[in-house]
């Protein structure tokens, strides 16, 4: 019950801050741009066959949104509580560190999903004019949620480490960039195959799979384990306060 | 209600609280008194479970804080120093959220919030945004938060800091009121406050309890029902301090504040009774300096406090100063 109350507060808190509206605006405009290209693509008879909605989840704009937006969603979560001292009122209420971290994570995930909400209109609109294949679209959303989950948990961990929201955002941006870019080295060296670790972590091809309708459990396990590890570390970081002051 | 045994709290290099033990009985209003950085807040934070003790134990309402933090947290309403709040929320929104967090069942939540609002006289700002409230109102929102859910024990860290005299009076009245039906611990570095509100005082300095008792007892036991006498003398030769020290019943002579023409003002502490003043008068006549004025007042708790916190412990040479233990 305490966790539920906390999730509700955290989720509402996003909409009390101007950043939330900026993020919503940016995501909606960029996704709208993608949709414009999708429509262009469909209305051009020379276009090859394929699932046009793929563009929404595997294009450069998708990565731009995810990588830039997630640190901005999570930077506030714990850094603000630490700097304003509200962590003390929070943790002296009947909720423990685990509950607080889980609540913050769920609220951040909820807000992240809200950012994608407007894009649900695209398949609806398209379905009026053409056949659409629901499978790849749902898989695409699943992939977007999975990658987002992983990035958000990293952002929350970074936010737990600092009092400054900006420092937290910069660090989580850096970590997320490394996770995104490092596996790309596999393209430079043909010896690295998709069976190697770097290949396993290669996010761009993950999303290509998802947006083609392939739900590969290995990808989901990767996101899930990074998420659990990051949240576990976050709980440890907040607990350390008891000893260090 | 609270049983603290041999509590020690160390941070990396400093010892904030060292080996303190005390009990708080139900429905007692206990004041924690001490200079800034004495370890008051740290002790309170250990009791609430925000910090873990380095050694020793804390029992609240029969539950060990380190083993059953959940049960302890449910029994406590806590107002931290500086009253951290979420500035973007509205007053009633915030209290509703806190009530839910403290597991007040949904059906009773509205009533719990309303009664907290009423007790702290927040009715007229219930829909205002917390960040726009004055310091006095914010303090009361913090108090209302501590009260919501009707905890058995209230822990208030510096509840009147930063308020104007009017607001201080209101908050004190409220605390006294609350103390009638529940246990209250409050910390303060302001003496009249503790004297006015608390039934028992613990004086803490450098992480140790250096005195305890009800305000009257403390004054009697430690100040020996003494008086502080202010003397104004004309003493061009400067003999007065020595002469005064020799007077029977005088326990201390302060530094003279010299004026023109050999005028000087002294602060003399002495045992109670008019006879000391008579002896001072006789001594002055005997020594040949002129007594121009003499006024006496009983030692306040403040004097006792200054005596205790500056005299004892100072020469013990423990390097563990905890002034740096800033939150």
Percent of chain B with pLDDT over 90: 38
Burial B286-301 (b: 16+ CB within 10 A, else e): ebebebeebebeebbb
Top residue of A9, A15, A17, A92 to mutate, by most chain B CBs within 10 Å, is A92
Tokens describing residue A163: 């009092």
As a dihedral over the C-alpha atoms of residue A192, residue A198, residue A204, residue A208, rounded to 10 degrees, the angle is 70
Tokens describing residue B54: 């380095």
> What is the Cα–Cα distance from A164 to A206, expressed in whole angstroms?
33
Model pTM?
0.82
Question: What residues are paired with B98 via a beta bridge?
Answer: none
Q: Do B80 and A88 touch (CB under 8 A)?
A: yes
Q: Does the pLDDT value for residue B228 go beyond 80?
A: no
- At B311 the pLDDT is 52
Mean pLDDT (chain A) is 90
- At B47 the pLDDT is 94
Q: Do B97 and A16 touch (CB under 8 A)?
A: no
Q: Over range B80-93, report the average pLDDT.
A: 94
Nearest CA in chain A to B41: A245
C-alpha distance from A151 to closest chain B C-alpha (Å): 26
Contacting B with CB below 8 Å, chain A residues are 1-2, 4-6, 8-9, 13, 16-17, 84-96, 241-245
Top residue of B61, B70, B97, B101 to mutate, by most chain A CBs within 10 Å, is B101
Q: Does the pLDDT value for residue A9 go beyond 50?
A: yes
Of A5, A88, A242, the CB nearest to B101: A5
Architecture per CATH, domain B2-219, reads as 3-Layer(aba) Sandwich (3.40)
How far is the CA of A28 from the CAs of A62, A65, A107, B140, in angstroms?
A: 11, 10, 20, 42
Nearest to A67 by CA among A225, A231, A180: A180
Q: Over range A48-76, report the average pLDDT.
A: 86
Residues in B touching A88 (Cβ below 8 Å):
45, 50, 80, 84
Top pLDDT among B318 and B74 is at B74
Q: Do B84 and A86 touch (CB under 8 A)?
A: yes
- At A56 the pLDDT is 85
- At B315 the pLDDT is 37
Q: Which long-range contacts (CB under 8 A, 24 or more apart) does B101-108 make?
A: B101/A2, B101/A5, B101/A6, B101/A9, B101/A90, B101/A93, B101/A94, B101/A95, B102/A2, B102/A93, B102/A94, B102/B74, B102/B148, B102/B149, B103/A1, B103/A2, B103/A94, B103/B74, B103/B149, B104/B148, B104/B149
- At B314 the pLDDT is 39
Tokens describing residue B278: 């008579």
C-alpha distance from B271 to closest chain A C-alpha (Å): 44
Nearest CA in chain A to B54: A243
Residue B321: phi and psi, rounded to 5, are -75, 135
Of B11, B49, B103, the CB nearest to A244: B11
Top pLDDT among A30 and A58 is at A30
Alpha-carbon B292 to chain mean position? 37
Top pLDDT among B270 and A7 is at A7
Q: Over range B71-99, report the average pLDDT.
A: 94
Top pLDDT among A202 and A145 is at A145
> What is the Cα–Cα distance from A136 to A202, expressed in whole angstroms?
19
Percent of chain A with pLDDT over 70: 94
How many other CB atoms are found less than 10 A from the CB of residue B197?
25
Q: Do A17 and B88 touch (CB under 8 A)?
A: yes
Q: Using an 8 Å Cβ cutoff, are B142 and B79 in contact? A: yes
- At B326 the pLDDT is 37
Tell me the pLDDT band of A12, cut-offs 50, 70 and 90.
Answer: very high
Of B12, B73, B82, the CB nearest to A92: B73
Q: Over range A226-241, report the average pLDDT.
A: 96
Helices (H), chain A: 2-14, 18-43, 54-58, 60-84, 86-91, 97-116, 121-129, 134-161, 165-181, 197-200, 203-211, 217-244
Top residue of A17, A78, A88 to mutate, by most chain B CBs within 10 Å, is A88
Nearest CA in chain B to A91: B50
DSSP tag of A51:
-
A221's CB contacts (< 8 A; 6+ apart) are none
Nearest to B213 by CA among B193, B191, B198: B198
Q: Does the pLDDT value for residue B220 go beyond 80?
A: no
Of A101-110, A129-138, B94-103, the least confident: A129-138
> What is the Cα–Cα distance from B178 to B200, expressed in whole angstroms?
15
Tell me the pLDDT band of B231, cut-offs 50, 70 and 90.
Answer: confident
> What is the Cα–Cα distance from B131 to B23, expressed in whole angstroms?
38
Residues in A touching B85 (Cβ below 8 Å):
86, 89
Top pLDDT among A58 and B315 is at A58
- The full DSSP string for B125-149 is GTTSBGGGS-HHHHHHHHHHHHHTT
Which residues in chain B are classed under CATH 3.40.50.300?
A: 2-219
Host H or E run for residue B50 = none
Helices (H), B224-269: 240-246
C-alpha distance from B263 to closest chain A C-alpha (Å): 53
Contacting A with CB below 8 Å, chain B residues are 11-12, 16, 42, 45, 48-52, 69-70, 73-74, 76, 78, 80, 82, 84-89, 97-98, 100-103, 145, 325, 327
Of A22-31, A57-66, B288-297, the least confident: B288-297
CATH fold for the domain made of B226-298: Alpha-Beta Plaits (3.30.70)
Nearest CA in chain A to B86: A86
In terms of average pLDDT, the best of A176-185, B212-221, B232-241 is A176-185
């Amino acid at each position: 019950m305490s966790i539920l109350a906390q999730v509700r507060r955290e989720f509402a808190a996003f909409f009390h801050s101007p950043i939330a509206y900026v993020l919503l605006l940016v995501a909606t405009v960029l996704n709208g741009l993608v949709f414009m290209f999708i429509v262009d693509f469909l209305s051009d008879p020379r276009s090859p066959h394929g699932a046009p909605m793929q563009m929404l989840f595997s294009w450069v704009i998708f990565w731009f949104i995810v990588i830039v937006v997630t640190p901005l969603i999570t930077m506030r979560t714990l850094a603000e509580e630490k700097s304003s001292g509200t962590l003390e009122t929070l943790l002296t209420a009947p909720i423990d560190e685990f509950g607080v971290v889980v609540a913050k994570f769920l609220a951040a995930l909820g807000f992240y999903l809200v950012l994608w909400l407007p894009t649900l209109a695209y398949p609806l609109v398209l379905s009026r004019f053409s056949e659409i294949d629901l499978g790849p679209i749902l898989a695409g959303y699943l992939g977007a949620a999975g990658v987002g989950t992983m990035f958000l948990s990293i952002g929350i961990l970074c936010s737990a480490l600092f009092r400054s929201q900006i420092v937290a955002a910069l660090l989580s941006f850096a970590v997320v960039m490394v996770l995104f870019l490092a596996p790309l080295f596999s393209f430079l060296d043909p010896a690295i195959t998709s069976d190697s670790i770097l290949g396993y972590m290669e996010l761009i091809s993950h999303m290509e799979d998802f947006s083609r309708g392939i739900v590969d459990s290995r990808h989901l396990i990767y996101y899930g384990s990074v998420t659990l590890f990051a949240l576990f570390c976050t709980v440890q970081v907040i607990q350390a306060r008891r000893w260090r002051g | 209600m609270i049983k603290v045994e041999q509590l020690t709290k160390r941070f990396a290099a400093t010892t904030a609280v060292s080996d303190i033990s005390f009990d708080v009985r139900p429905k007692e209003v206990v004041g924690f008194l001490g200079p800034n950085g004495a370890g008051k807040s740290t002790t309170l934070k250990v009791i609430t479970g925000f910090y873990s003790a380095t050694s020793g134990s804390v029992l609240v309402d029969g539950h060990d804080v380190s083993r059953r933090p959940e049960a302890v947290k449910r029994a406590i309403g806590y107002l931290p120093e500086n009253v951290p709040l979420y500035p973007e929320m509205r007053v009633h929104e915030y209290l509703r959220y806190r009530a839910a967090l403290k597991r007040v069942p949904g059906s009773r939540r509205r009533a719990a919030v309303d009664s907290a609002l009423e007790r702290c006289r927040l009715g007229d700002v219930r829909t205002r945004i917390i960040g726009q409230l004055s310091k006095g109102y914010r303090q009361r929102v913090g108090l209302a938060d501590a009260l919501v859910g009707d905890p058995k024990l209230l822990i208030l860290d510096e509840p009147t800091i930063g308020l104007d005299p009017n607001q201080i009076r209101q908050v004190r009245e409220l605390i006294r009121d609350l103390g009638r039906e529940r246990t209250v611990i409050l910390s303060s570095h302001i003496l009249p406050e503790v004297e006015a509100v608390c039934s028992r005082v613990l004086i803490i300095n450098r992480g140790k309890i250096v005195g305890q008792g009800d305000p009257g007892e403390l004054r009697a036991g430690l100040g020996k029902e003494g008086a502080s006498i202010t003397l104004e003398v004309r003493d061009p030769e400067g003999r007065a301090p020595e002469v005064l020290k020799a007077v029977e019943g005088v326990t201390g002579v302060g530094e003279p504040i010299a004026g023109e023409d050999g005028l000087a003002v002294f602060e003399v502490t002495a045992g109670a009774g008019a006879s000391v003043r008579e002896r001072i008068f006789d001594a002055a006549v005997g020594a040949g300096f002129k007594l121009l004025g003499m006024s006496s007042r009983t030692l306040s708790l403040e004097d006792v406090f200054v005596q205790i916190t500056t005299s004892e412990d100072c020469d013990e040479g423990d390097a563990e100063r905890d002034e740096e233990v800033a939150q």
